[in-house]
Chain A
Amino acid sequence: MTIKLYDYSLSGSCYKVRLLLHFLDLHYEKQQIDFYPGRQHKSLDFLQINPLGQIPALEDDGLQLRDAQAILCHLANKYDGSGRWLPRDERHFGAVMMWVMFAGGELMSASAARLHDALGYKLDINAARASAHAAFRILDDHMTLREIEGAKWIVGDHPTIADIACFPYVALSGDGGIGHEDYPALRNWMRNFRRLPRFHAMSGVPEYV
């Protein structure tokens, strides 16, 4: 039984999945997708793997999955014996899912800004940055309250897939011209995350903490 990840190193969404695979110490096979300039994710071959034409996609024991958030849920559900990355108790499960959805929704404006600046995507860059700032503010407000409670993570007292899902596009936002100056609680949270055992960086996230 092997896990196969359709991957592009520069994708923050693929990075979410690589992070969890690494935290869980899971072996997997990587299939590199020439996302840019090749647009291989829009090729007929790849559309049979994910008809939405998006990466990441994951194959696991006959199961074919798309959407980074869904893949995080699947991996945590299946492989995390400790239950910490996706807590099932009623106080935490809903909150984790809420921030996981936020990562796949509102935070993706930061991804759009990055695609515009680095890879020349045609889109309204001012609107993308403004939406990203609005989303960052919501997460920073939340993490400010968490700091006051003496907590370090988005939900609970252990990092969860909510932290994994939110981390990449907050950390990579500078690539899209979105700075971290206004978000002291996000800076502290990101630093804590980067100091986790088994954390690994990607291009755009400095290796040294």
Chain B
Amino acid sequence: MSLEQDRWTGVGLDRQVQAASSNPVILDGQALALWRGEDGPVRVWEDRCPHRGMRLSFGFVRGDTLRCIYHGWAYRTDGQCVEIPAHPDLAPPKTICANSYPAESRYGIVWTNLSGAGSAALPDFGADEGWEPVRSIYVDRPASVVREALHSFDFGDVSEVRMNGGSAALVRVRSGLEILFAVQPVSDGKTALHAVAKGQGVAGRRADLARRLERLRATIERA
């Protein structure tokens, strides 16, 4: 049984996870691999090949299988190992299965829940449409400090900051712009923010907003 909290946490921007790629992510000290097949949704797995413990975030994708870089073992999207190149004629036993976590894409953010089949709901900020990715940014401060800073940072004429159980924050600006932050605790001293935005003309303002987040990071780290 997992001792992890039953909670959805954003771990990356959907659009930034390339097709046919595997990526390392640390959530609360736990190493995860975010990977996407040549098409299809992003998967979130434990970053460990069941064979010899190699991190699967170093792996490579062929079709809809993730292959471990060490020995090329191929894992299907449900985690089942389907090929062992050292023994081309062997059907891998059912027991060889990568450990996967639930993964959902909403608002352009990839969310996962390390407690497994939890009952917690995904953060709800209304309809899924209209959100544009801004950027992910890594801040060398604990999540509590970063959450606090979201309340006080100058995003313009802020009308409201709404938290959702600590793992997401919605900043509303009077101009009609909305910025949604997923807060990912990386380690005791580091936090990732995955930001998406919605509002009139937001697609053309992504670079501005991304630079704004560089300032946010600098402001938090200087405080």
Contacts and interface: CB of A to CB of B under 8 A. Distances in A.
Contacts, number: 44
A90 to B, nearest CB: 22
B21 A191 contact: yes
Interface string A172-199: 0000000111111101100100000000
A185 B21 contact: no
Interface in A111-138: 137
A208 interface: yes
User: In the complex, which range does the number of interface residues on chain A fall in?
Assistant: 20 to 34
Given A141-B214, A187-B23, A206-B60, 13 more contacts: A145-B210, A148-B206, A148-B207, A148-B210, A149-B207, A179-B24, A180-B24, A181-B25, A181-B26, A181-B186, A182-B190, A184-B136, A191-B18
B217 to A, nearest CB: 9
A181 B25 CA distance: 6
Interface in B126-141: 135-136, 138
B10 interface: no
Contacts of A191: 18, 21
Q: Which of B12, B138, B190 has the most CB of A within 10 A?
A: B138
Given A181-B26, A208-B69, A188 B210 contact: no
A206 to B, nearest CB: 5
B24 A145 contact: no
Which 9 residue pairs spanning A and B have beta carbons closest together?
A182-B138, A208-B60, A148-B206, A181-B24, A184-B16, A148-B207, A144-B135, A181-B26, A184-B136
A209 interface: yes
A147 interface: yes
